[in-house]
């Protein structure tokens, strides 16, 4: 039986993620766990996250999740980061006065701003909350069966700008163009919440559960 470890470090919407995974592939064993051995032995690993990045990173280091993430990525097993679990893979974030992150991807996490506006000068609400179109930057196994321009659900005040453009798997526009998905080798990470994104999001999770970790 295939197993997926959803890392529990106290900062993720774990119940909805686990239920979505079980829904798209009945029979999969979803382990919501803080046990390093279970993470190490799982076939796939998912890093969730909600809340302030400073609190997330503090718990990640306190509980040794940084080591679990590094081992999972180096092992070649399929790895998925979601929301703050995506931001945590970057080098640093502007949030909370500046926070160092895990550095698995080169790039930064930036604030939309207190006076964020669209191209016509109209005020945009921050956080960016709700549905938005995700434009794929190229082919990837996790996009199978999902059309470019499909809408996904977002809740965030900070956005990723990747340094290595070849790693960008999708972009989105909300006053600025930003990178909502990155893919490199066995790692894929997204800013949006696939577990809350209905058909397209569930298809992405299904693709992840059937992915061998190869681009």
Using DSSP bridges, classify how beta strands 158-162 and 107-111 pair: parallel, antiparallel or unpaired.
antiparallel
Say what the pLDDT of residue 169 is: 98
Domains and CATH numbers, the chain: 3-210 (3.40.50.880)
The answer to whether residue 83 is catalytic is yes
Q: What is the pLDDT of residue 107?
A: 98
| Cα angle: 45, vertex 51, 56; to 5 degrees | 55
Structure confidence by residue, pLDDT tens digits, 148-203: 999 999 999 999 999 999 999 999 999 999 999 999 999 999 999 999 999 999 99
Q: Please report the pLDDT score of residue 13 as a whole number.
A: 75
15 given a catalytic annotation: no
Reference 109, options 65, 160, 174, 144; nearest CA is: 160
Mean per-residue pLDDT for 82-96? 97
Q: Give Cα 90 to chain centroid, integer Å.
A: 11
Q: Which residue has the higher pLDDT, 94 or 1?
A: 94
pLDDT cut 70: percent of the chain above it: 100
> Which residues, in sequence order, are CB contacts of 194 under 8 Å at separation 6+?
20, 82, 152, 200, 201, 202, 204, 205
pLDDT digits 0-9 by tens, 92-101: 999 999 999 9
Residue 190: which residues within 8 A CB-CB, separation 6 or more?
80, 81, 82, 83, 86, 152, 170, 180, 181, 204
Residue 128 catalytic? no
pLDDT for the residue numbered 215: 86
Decide if pLDDT at 30 tops 90: yes
The upper half-sphere exposure of residue 92, i.e. CA atoms within 13 Å in the direction of its Cβ, equals: 6
Catalytic residue among 56, 83, 101, 172: 83
Q: Note the pTM of the prediction, 2 decimals.
A: 0.96
Answer yes or no: is pLDDT of 15 > 90. no
Give every CB contact of residue 147 below 8 A, 6+ residues apart in sequence.
Answer: none
What value does the mean pLDDT take over residues 69-84? 97
Give SS3 for 171. strand
Please tell me the predicted confidence (pLDDT) of residue 19: 95
Active-site choice (128, 156, 184, 193): 193
Categorize the per-residue pLDDT at 12 as very low, low, confident or very high, splitting at 50, 70 and 90. confident
């Amino acid at each position: 039986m295939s197993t997926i470890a959803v890392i529990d470090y106290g900062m993720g919407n774990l119940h909805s993620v686990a239920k979505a995974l079980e829904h798209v592939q009945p029979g999969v064993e979803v382990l919501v766990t803080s046990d390093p051995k279970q993470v190490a032995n799982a076939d796939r690993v998912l890093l969730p996250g909600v809340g302030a990045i400073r609190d997330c990173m503090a718990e990640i280091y306190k509980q040794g999740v940084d080591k679990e993430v590094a081992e999972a990525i180096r092992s070649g097993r399929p790895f998925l980061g979601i929301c703050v679990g995506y931001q945590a893979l970057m080098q640093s974030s502007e949030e909370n006065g500046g926070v160092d992150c895990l550095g698995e991807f080169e790039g930064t996490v930036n604030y939309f701003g207190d006076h964020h506006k669209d191209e016509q000068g109209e005020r945009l609400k921050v956080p960016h909350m709700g549905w938005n179109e995700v434009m794929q930057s190229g082919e990837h196994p996790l996009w199978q069966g999902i059309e470019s321009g499909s809408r996904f659900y977002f809740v965030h005040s900070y956005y990723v700008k990747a340094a290595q453009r070849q790693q960008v798997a999708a972009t989105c526009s909300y006053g600025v163009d930003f990178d909502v998905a990155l893919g490199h080798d066995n790692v894929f990470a997204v800013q949006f919440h696939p577990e809350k994104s209905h058909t397209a999001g569930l298809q992405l999770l299904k693709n992840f559960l059937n992915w061998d970790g190869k681009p």
